[in-house]
Structure 1
């Protein structure tokens, strides 16, 4: 990336952010799914800083056990500590560990970037929780654990109050959904909370993220064969159900369901639908009905016409500049280019570059991007 790196430095000129580094990642044969997600997470600044802080506080070469967490931290440390401002980094250690640990990523076949992101975040959570359990065990207070819906674990004290373990991964990405069901006979509302690290939402042609989120939280009537068993009525009753965001996360990750199984075809098909995503997003469907404002800082883009082949790149915002990461290559792009990856307004189009995973950071009151 010599020439490309120098072009990037020249483009940024005097505006090159102090202490920031923009490095491409070497591709090991269809590892673009990994590279694109790693770049998006690297420029999730709170996550990167907390990961590096954790690593510096816990690194002990004598007895450190290598895992995905240490490999990721080591990779990010390599990037952030480079003397050069631009270049290419070899993520060999991380990729090797990933393939060693999970056979799904072992082949050279096309992989799904969202599956990788989901696996990585949950694996980081598991590692941190195991360390916490080990520390608690050393203090002779063995905790009880309970697996929750998305694969993460809650650790409880032995006292009457249940206190869930919250890691710095949770603090960045975890939100809470409330599944509300209202019995139409007695009006009793049953609410069940569940945590999430990212939201997977259905998409429609020529729509927007806002409308897709509204559909995600729309009311559904349960009747006929789908009646709800109401504990108060002690019988099956018609009911209304909806999913709401009770507690929005600091980093909101939205996965667009672009790959759909078509029964007539007997296979998955990519939906190239145009789904407009704003640079600033207002989230108003929380339990408190308070508006939450978010700013877009990264987009993982799927390039290709189908789910079993193609390529992944990422668009990243850093210090008010937008950059395009394509494995080893890094380029500066204009902000107006970011939304051109929204999708195709017609079913058949030569445009195959579509936004797939969106990363938004919550704005503090009075903060502007």
Structure 2
């Protein structure tokens, strides 16, 4: 059996049969679709005959003015939220993780706590010949450092800095590669070049000794970090000793000696020549 509302459905549209289409206006359309019916005030369930019935959607609370007590509750909740976001005296400021940006946040915190680098960045003055990209990156970095130092909030949102770099927030990148590329970019800024070299750039030499003629060849190289293998080691000292250990070049891996004009057995090692003020040690935790 059809309900009364459904059985009366055709009656609402009977006027269409005799109506002149050119004379159908907004009034007729609103009437046909029941949009002119008064809003419901005391329904126990949604009215099928009234599209304006908002029962169950909280319309009574939306359309009514909140009482004084309700306003006080809202204000108290907001105050608690604001207070929860405030940094307490002596606390450090954190960085929000935007999804997969923890590797960026880690380096931002490390660079911020390097006082020499931080001060050099604060004192950076832009010149007309500086590249716009470098200005933007340095400006965003200045802003983040300033907020990390003096923000009243517990955390800083690095969204603009991440966007400036063109990084995807949902894609995990290699932290070491990010550090190298970003520091090399900042190193092209004249005002920062010297402090970056002093604080982060070291130098070692690849030393090769021919076992036949005892000739020594050296190839210097700059580094921003030392890659240390941790497999089979129990402390940092043993990792560094392995990094500096002599390697025998024999068999198919023989060394071509320019003095002997032939391949010869040789010894090769890395000799540290200059360490930076801040030594970055990368622990190779993954083995393939």
Q: If the length of structure 1 is used for normalisation, what is the TM-score? A: 0.50
What residue is the counterpart of 1:91 in the other structure? 158
Instruction: Check if 1:78 corresponds to 2:147.
Output: yes
In structure 2, distance between residues paired with 1:251 and 1:170 = 10
In structure 2, distance between residues paired with 1:36 and 1:190 = 38
Q: 1:218 aligns with which of 235, 242, 245?
A: 245
Greater relative contact order (Cα < 8 A, sep 6+): 1
Higher helix share: 2
Instruction: Check if 1:125 corresponds to 2:198.
Output: no
Superposed CA deviations along residues 280-314 of structure 1, whole A, max 9, x for unmatched, are xxxxxxxxxxxxxxxxxxxxxxxxxxxxxxxxxxx
In structure 2, distance between residues paired with 1:35 and 1:107 = 12
Do the aligned partners of residues 115 and 180 (structure 1) sit closer, same or farther apart at CA in structure 2, a change above 3 Å counting?
Answer: same
Q: Secondary structure of 2:259's partner? A: coil
Higher strand share: 1
Whether the aligned pair in 2 keeps the contact of 1:68 and 1:123 (CA below 8 Å) is no
Could you list the runs of 5+ residues in structure 1 that have no partner in the other structure? 10-15, 100-104, 133-165, 262-369
Superposed CA deviations along residues 204-255 of structure 1, whole A, max 9, x for unmatched, are 2342111111100100111111111112112111100001211111110000
Q: CA RMSD in A?
A: 2.6
In structure 2, distance between residues paired with 1:123 and 1:188 = 38
Structure having the higher Rg: 2
What residue is the counterpart of 1:175 in the other structure? 202
In structure 1, distance between residues paired with 2:247 and 2:233 = 23
Could you list the runs of 5+ residues in structure 2 that have no partner in the other structure? 1-81
Q: Secondary structure of 1:249's partner? A: coil
Q: CA deviation at 1:81?
A: 4.1
Whether the aligned pair in 1 keeps the contact of 2:116 and 2:195 (CA below 8 Å) is no
Whether the aligned pair in 2 keeps the contact of 1:2 and 1:87 (CA below 8 Å) is no
Whether the aligned pair in 2 keeps the contact of 1:33 and 1:111 (CA below 8 Å) is yes
Q: CA deviation at 1:2?
A: 4.7
Superposed CA deviations along residues 164-211 of structure 1, whole A, max 9, x for unmatched, are xx5321111110011000010111111110000111111123421111
